[in-house]
Amino acid sequence: MNRPPIFQSSAFAPFRSQEFRYLLLTRLCSSLAGSALVIVIGYQVYQLTHDPLALGLLGLVEAIPALSLALLGGHFADRHDRRRIVLATQLVEMVCVLSYVFISLDVSRLGMTALYAVAFVVGIARGFSNPASSAFEAQVIPQHWYAQAAAIMSSAGTIVSISGPVLGGLSYAAFGPTVTFALISVAFALSFIGLLLIAPKPMPPAAEDESIWQSIAAGVKYVWNDQILIGSMSLDLFAVLFGGAIALLPVFASDILKTGPAGYGLLVAAPTVGVLLSSLWCARNPPLHNTGRTLLFCVAGFGLSIIAFGLSRDMLLSWAALMGTGIFDGVSMVIRSTIVRTFSPEAMRARIASVEWIFIGASNEVGAFESGVAAKALGAAPAVVAGGIVTLLVVAMVTWRARQLRNLSMRVIPYEV
């Protein structure tokens, strides 16, 4: 199938678009608020219960509706104004955070049930907002800037993923949960305002005789039958599912590397540093030549870095190996984002994004569980090494089966606006 070309321009060319700047503001504010909210609500729940299981249930209460409704959210966003959907869901999230403000005023009386109920509503909102946001972003960003925009968004998201929890924790310590929740609601409000400044985008005509289930099935079938889409999504799913080591870092810091809490913090930061460096590099040098081979190489590099981390007994080498996972993952994230935006027909963009979100959510949630089970059965270090080996096997399988992805090379044409 013929695809439109990807044009190459300067690293910061997307900033020439006022709407991209508003979009970036929206993403930064919403991500900052979301990452801070996770820390604040998690800490408050633990203070109330002193039970790690309560934290696991909190994540589950939000993840279940978000993942369960993603496909329905994709169908809805392919038939209704995506901007309005994102605005509506952000409004719901603001109301939820303000509800946390109210609950925190007398949390002992309102109890855990109220906190879980609000988290469940947030999960419902995200089930609809995630596909709509992905599809709307692709409408705002011109196609010849997809790769650069993906790299800029990834870099900004990485910075926010570091600063959000830190700012949330500092605010909680200084002002308490009530004021912190109020500040988080302000960040959501700024995101809402940024989105209002972006003009509505036209929606493609939808098939009128198609039922909801037929529409959802069409999106899933399209991804399944597109070798490039399913291949790139599968690489991400299985790499994170089997090759992730983040959930086991406390074990390595405490029992294997014996570095204590300070070393644990450094290990957690290492992949983020790698992602930030590679995202900045991709903004300057979009990985559009031999795209498929570069993606396969990066996922293989991720697996090898995971194996090196599992075998290492030296803190410096372990930190470098984890940074390597972030470097390879950062490049692959930019490539996967560019692929999904480029190879998604406008009329099915949100449904395809919903499938991608399920892959991402499943790999993160189930991956942490898989790491724990494998570590229990094999030991932490052997489990990590085995996960890296499985990742390499997945790369070999996709390389063998997905010829179109393997040979994919985005057409790079010098272009300046």
| pLDDT tens column, 330-388 | 898 888 888 888 888 888 899 998 898 888 776 666 666 666 677 777 887 888 898 88
Task: Examine the domain organization and report whether 248 and 194 are in the same domain.
Answer: no
CA 415/CA 417 separation, integer angstroms: 7
Q: What are phi and psi of 226, to 5 degrees?
A: -95, 110
- Helix or strand or coil: residue 412? strand
User: What is the arithmetic mean of pLDDT over 230-253?
Assistant: 76
Q: Does residue 194 carry a pLDDT above 90?
A: yes
Q: Does residue 4 carry a pLDDT above 80?
A: no
Tell me the residue length of the chain.
Answer: 417
Range of the domain at 110: 7-201
CA 222/CA 68 separation, integer angstroms: 19
User: What is the arithmetic mean of pLDDT over 90-97?
Assistant: 93
Q: Does residue 412 carry a pLDDT above 60?
A: no
Q: Does residue 296 carry a pLDDT above 90?
A: yes
Model confidence pTM above 0.85: no
Task: Examine the domain organization and report whether 327 and 387 are in the same domain.
Answer: yes
| pLDDT tens column, 110-144 | 778 888 899 999 999 999 999 999 899 988 988 77
Looking at residue 365, its pLDDT comes to 61
CA 385/CA 22 separation, integer angstroms: 43
CA 244/CA 302 separation, integer angstroms: 9
- Find the CATH number of the domain harbouring 134: 1.20.1250.20
Confidence of residue 71 (pLDDT cuts 50, 70, 90): very high
Q: Which two tokens stand for residue 103?
A: 């609950």
- In this structure, is residue 209 part of a structural domain? no
Q: Does residue 221 carry a pLDDT above 90?
A: yes
- In this structure, is residue 368 part of a structural domain? yes
Going by C-alpha positions, the residue among 238, 250, 240, 263 that lies closest to residue 380 is 250
User: What is the arithmetic mean of pLDDT over 205-221?
Assistant: 83
Mean pLDDT of all residues in the chain? 84
Task: State the burial class of residue 171 (Cβ atoms within 10 Å of its Cβ: 0-12, 13-18, 19+).
Answer: buried
Rounded to the nearest 5 degrees, what angle is found at the Cα of 388, between the Cα atoms of 382 and 393? 125
Task: Confirm if 105 and 178 have CB atoms less than 8 A apart.
Answer: yes
CA 268/CA 13 separation, integer angstroms: 32
| Domain boundary residue, one of 169, 201, 233 | 201
Give the DSSP H/E element, type plus range, for residue 413. Answer: strand 412-414
